[in-house]
């Protein structure tokens, strides 16, 4: 090996690039500090408003608003279904039937639990019983509920087809 070329005996210094020193200055008065904070606020507001370059899937085709071409705004099937809601007694009956079906399904799952001695089965049974208790309490609320509450639950379960719990 040649002398002076090993890492231990290397004596040449690598030239470094001079970097400009960053200086931080304090504002003279509180008023100037508030002005600086105000300009920072304005900059963040301007940057936050323009989302046209966003490539996310949230925009969709409805971002422009208004009418597109000759198509007028037609009510959605959900809006039509909400407009044609049945009377309170019918909604109450349908919700009661749906909740009772759900409770029956949960009771069937409890009866068909394969083995109570497997790890985690007690937790699963506890969860199933908790759901049954919540459904029964919801059933009681429906029987005493006002029309507005009944209407919201009916829309959620039958029109939006969301789970009861």
Domain boundaries, the chain: 86-159
Instruction: Provide the whole-model pTM.
Output: 0.50
130-164 burial, b if ≥16 CB within 10 A, otherwise e? ebbeebeebbeebeebeeeebeebbbebbeeeeeb
Confidence of residue 5 (pLDDT cuts 50, 70, 90): low
Q: What is the reported pLDDT for 73?
A: 83
**pLDDT digits 0-9 by tens, 97-146:** 998 999 999 999 888 876 667 787 888 888 889 999 999 888 888 888 78
């Amino acid at each position: 090996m040649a002398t002076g070329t090993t890492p231990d005996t290397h004596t040449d210094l690598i030239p470094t690039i001079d970097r400009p020193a960053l200086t931080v200055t304090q504002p003279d008065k509180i008023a100037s500090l508030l002005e600086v904070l105000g300009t920072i606020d304005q900059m963040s507001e301007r940057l936050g408003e323009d989302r046209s370059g966003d490539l996310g899937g949230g925009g969709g085709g409805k971002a422009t608003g208004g009418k597109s071409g000759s198509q007028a705004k037609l009510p959605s099937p959900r809006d039509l279904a909400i407009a044609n809601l049945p009377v309170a007694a019918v909604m109450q009956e349908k919700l009661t039937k749906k909740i009772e079906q759900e409770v029956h399904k949960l009771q069937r799952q409890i009866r068909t639990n394969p083995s109570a001695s497997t790890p985690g089965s007690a937790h699963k049974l506890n969860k199933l019983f908790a759901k049954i208790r919540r459904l029964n309490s919801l059933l009681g609320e429906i029987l005493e509920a006002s029309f507005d509450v009944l209407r919201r639950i009916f829309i959620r379960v039958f029109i939006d087809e969301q789970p009861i719990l």
